[in-house]
Structure 1
Amino acid sequence: MRKIKIQDLKDFCKAALVKEGLREDYAKICGEVLAETDALGTNSHGTKNLYGYIKKIRVGGIDIHAEPQIVKEGPGFAVMNAEKCIGMVPSVKAMEVACEKAKKTGLGLVTVKNSCHFGAAGYYANIAAHKGMIGLSMSNVDPNMTVPGAKGMLIGNNPFAYAAPANTTPTVFLDVAMSNVASLKVVQAKKDRKSIPDTWIVDKDGLPTADPSNYPDEGAMQPFARHKGYGFAVMVELLTGILSGGCTSIGGDIVSWCFEPEKPNNVCHAFMAVDAEQFLGEGVLAGRMEEMSRELRQAPKAKGSERIYTPGEIEWEKYKVAYEEGFTIPEDVLISLQELSADVKIPLKTY
């Protein structure tokens, strides 16, 4: 097992993107998002994907010179056109704008269209939470999920996240997709030639299967809790693609960011910030979240259970270890980073 210091990981990501031609401040944003995601333990959406983004830049699927622009706005909302930019840049910018508007109006909502895969939704929700606000973030994605009664890929598994400040942990947060698992986990299982639980995907006939070998050419992801995950995926479409005036996963204009790298991804995002201070008073939200968290942790435990976790608590424990001891790099992440390092001729400082 190899380790890397989180700052060294951020610096490597930034250097690789700058070498490709991305402006330095945008490259820094991407490095921050991806490395912080790894620190929280969400390795499927962290630096493992950097080489994929760079390959997409090289074949024109991402415009490395794009400048995201706000095309419409009011006191509490804005619409941003990402202009085919790498997804982390418009996403950070949009959440920052949402927070600024929330400070003035109590609520801020920014939608983004014509963007690319933005990594982990939780990172952006936590931007608001670190400012003492409630944050919501979400994105539609390429159609990779079936719905009850259908077969084939019909709608995206559309990730959604929320976050709020607390005291014992930096935030209480949740980051989930509307499928039972993220599609990248199925892709990894296929690469590793491993079987999967039959609750993850369906086959070409719409029936549950434990064999990922034909995915994504055949079959589709299963929504969590069937109609519930399906319904929440539609909600994300409403607030992202439909509200922004951009593409929807159902409409056929969103393609996979990694399986069709030469094409624009065309995904849409939405970011909401709620300035709880205007609702509750200064510092009240974190205290109330801490009170609720304490009650959850101290609730009667099931037989054999030693601990009750609050949402995000496991991730923040991993984060603390990553910053104190370095990030332990999973094998698939290490391989991707080493391949990129050899390609761009920038050393990866592991130990």
Structure 2
Amino acid sequence: MAGVVLDGEDLSSFVAEIFVKHGMRADYAATLAEVLVWADLRGIDSHGVERVPRYLDLVARGDIDLKGEPQMQAVADALFLIDGGNQFGAVPMGLAMREAVTRARRSGIALGTIRRFGHSGALGFYAQWIARQGMAAIVMGSGMPLMAYHGAKAASLSTSPLAIAVPGGPSGVTMLDMASSIIANGRLRLAQRNNEQIPPGMALDAQGEPTTDPAKAVIPLPVGGPKGAGLALMFECLTSVLAGAPVLTAMLGPGKKTWHTQSQTVIAIDVAKFRPVEEFVSDIDLLDTVIHALPRLDPDEPIRIPGERAEKEAAQRAQSGIPLSDRLRRQLVEIAEKAGVTPPPAML
């Protein structure tokens, strides 16, 4: 079998059941599966169900506690802190996005820092959800050293992602979702598994030398050199350090602790406090229209708004299904069999 195509809801239910069988609360498992399938629908396969085998490895290693319960602490009217309890990030981040919107409704703006949790998936999921509530959203993240600091030969920064979203635009939300690295770490791992050549200037090997060999490329480089490195460093300051759980100093400094952990900061801004949301949306729609109408450098290449390609892909995959490689299909079927879960018929 060359691969399969699965309905998004079927895939989400299947993945959720796998994590329930491993001891996760059903509602938490459903949230985790929703975040992963959201990425797959948008063609961000490196952050979709491709992560399931890796996630279960982290559980087996003891880095993730599937029974962990996030704890929230109110810092001020518009500020809050969530300790993720070493749970997968989708759980505390789901709590954070809802809390941010609730507090922003009262105060006009809300900021929350979230610490001590595992991989949270694509940050765009959380930013888009906040924007669909009529809010502007900024979500930034940090974590273990994976990317080289500009000028360094070793993994010394997280690939620190950033998602910014506002209501309005062709799909209802205009959103930028990016990593601070030229190539996301998940995309690098996917290229390795699929034996895809890495373009020059994107990654280093374990010795800190430039490489295009997918089997050797292990350290992504920052986008824009010192600019991407600077962003990633400041995201560490505004997430892990602000939350009282520094990551990079613990992993790079004396002792060099090693564990899987992340921190993030979520900001929600209530547009309605500034102006009617409908007027804001209308202006965003107009801005997107103006950008689309710009003269093209290449007549054959369309000008796209941030997130536009992914939303078109989501609409298409919602109709046609989510494609899985045969390699991933076999991995998931094996995991399901060990857990006592019946895969969707299309996977067998």
TM-score surpassing 0.5? yes
Q: 1:150-299 residue pairs with structure 2 within 5 A? A: 150-203=152-205, 206-216=208-218, 220-252=219-251, 264-299=259-294
* Cross-structure match for 2:7: 5
Distance in 1 of aligned mates of 2:160 and 2:289:
31
State whether residues 247 and 267 of structure 1, in contact with CA within 8 Å, keep that contact through their aligned partners in structure 2.
Answer: no
* Cross-structure match for 1:114: 116
* Superimposed CA distance per residue, residues 27-78 of structure 1 (whole angstroms, 9 cap, x where no aligned partner): 1111111111111111101111123222322332211111100134211110
State whether residues 161 and 174 of structure 1, in contact with CA within 8 Å, keep that contact through their aligned partners in structure 2.
Answer: yes
State whether residues 100 and 110 of structure 2, in contact with CA within 8 Å, keep that contact through their aligned partners in structure 1.
Answer: yes
State whether residues 164 and 175 of structure 2, in contact with CA within 8 Å, keep that contact through their aligned partners in structure 1.
Answer: yes
Structure 1 residues 332 and 237: alpha-carbon distance in aligned structure 2, compared to 1, 3 A threshold: farther
- More moved, 293-302 vs 196-205: 196-205
Kindly indicate whether residue 313 of structure 2 is the aligned counterpart of residue 340 of structure 1. Answer: no
Shift of 1:279: 1.2
State whether residues 116 and 264 of structure 1, in contact with CA within 8 Å, keep that contact through their aligned partners in structure 2.
Answer: no
State whether residues 204 and 217 of structure 2, in contact with CA within 8 Å, keep that contact through their aligned partners in structure 1.
Answer: no
Which letter maps to 1:283?
E
Shift of 1:250: 4.2
Distance in 2 of aligned mates of 1:339 and 1:205:
34
- More moved, 182-191 vs 38-47: 182-191
Distance in 1 of aligned mates of 2:298 and 2:197:
31
Distance in 1 of aligned mates of 2:191 and 2:277:
47
Which letter maps to 1:248?
V
- More moved, 205-214 vs 177-186: 205-214
State whether residues 111 and 268 of structure 2, in contact with CA within 8 Å, keep that contact through their aligned partners in structure 1.
Answer: yes
Aligned length: 341
The alignment partner of 1:311 has SS state of: coil
Shift of 1:18: 1.2
Once superposed, what is the RMSD of the aligned Cα atoms? 2.1
Which letter maps to 2:28?
Y
- More moved, 279-288 vs 42-51: 279-288
* Cross-structure match for 1:310: 305
The alignment partner of 2:288 has SS state of: helix
State whether residues 80 and 113 of structure 1, in contact with CA within 8 Å, keep that contact through their aligned partners in structure 2.
Answer: yes
State whether residues 74 and 81 of structure 2, in contact with CA within 8 Å, keep that contact through their aligned partners in structure 1.
Answer: yes
Shift of 1:142: 1.2
* Superimposed CA distance per residue, residues 57-116 of structure 1 (whole angstroms, 9 cap, x where no aligned partner): 233221111110013421111011111111110011111111111111111111011111
Distance in 2 of aligned mates of 1:350 and 1:321:
22
State whether residues 12 and 348 of structure 1, in contact with CA within 8 Å, keep that contact through their aligned partners in structure 2.
Answer: yes
Shift of 1:246: 1.0
Distance in 2 of aligned mates of 1:223 and 1:146:
7
Distance in 2 of aligned mates of 1:205 and 1:126:
39
* Cross-structure match for 1:257: none
Distance in 1 of aligned mates of 2:143 and 2:153:
18
Shift of 1:208: 2.4
Structure 1 residues 134 and 203: alpha-carbon distance in aligned structure 2, compared to 1, 3 A threshold: same
Which letter maps to 1:133?
M
Shift of 1:117: 0.9
Structure 1 residues 20 and 152: alpha-carbon distance in aligned structure 2, compared to 1, 3 A threshold: same
* Superimposed CA distance per residue, residues 264-293 of structure 1 (whole angstroms, 9 cap, x where no aligned partner): 523111111111111122322221211111
* Superimposed CA distance per residue, residues 130-186 of structure 1 (whole angstroms, 9 cap, x where no aligned partner): 111111112112111112222111111111111112242131112111110012222
Counterpart of 1:65 (choices 57, 61, 67) is 67
Structure 1 residues 53 and 146: alpha-carbon distance in aligned structure 2, compared to 1, 3 A threshold: same
Structure 1 residues 304 and 15: alpha-carbon distance in aligned structure 2, compared to 1, 3 A threshold: same
State whether residues 100 and 267 of structure 2, in contact with CA within 8 Å, keep that contact through their aligned partners in structure 1.
Answer: yes
Structure 1 residue runs of 5 or longer lacking an equivalent are 255-259
Which letter maps to 1:113?
R
Shift of 1:125: 0.6
Structure 1 residues 303 and 49: alpha-carbon distance in aligned structure 2, compared to 1, 3 A threshold: closer
Distance in 1 of aligned mates of 2:313 and 2:148:
33
Distance in 2 of aligned mates of 1:44 and 1:203:
20
The alignment partner of 1:316 has SS state of: helix
Distance in 2 of aligned mates of 1:306 and 1:195:
24
State whether residues 70 and 80 of structure 1, in contact with CA within 8 Å, keep that contact through their aligned partners in structure 2.
Answer: yes
Distance in 1 of aligned mates of 2:195 and 2:276:
54
Which letter maps to 2:265?
A
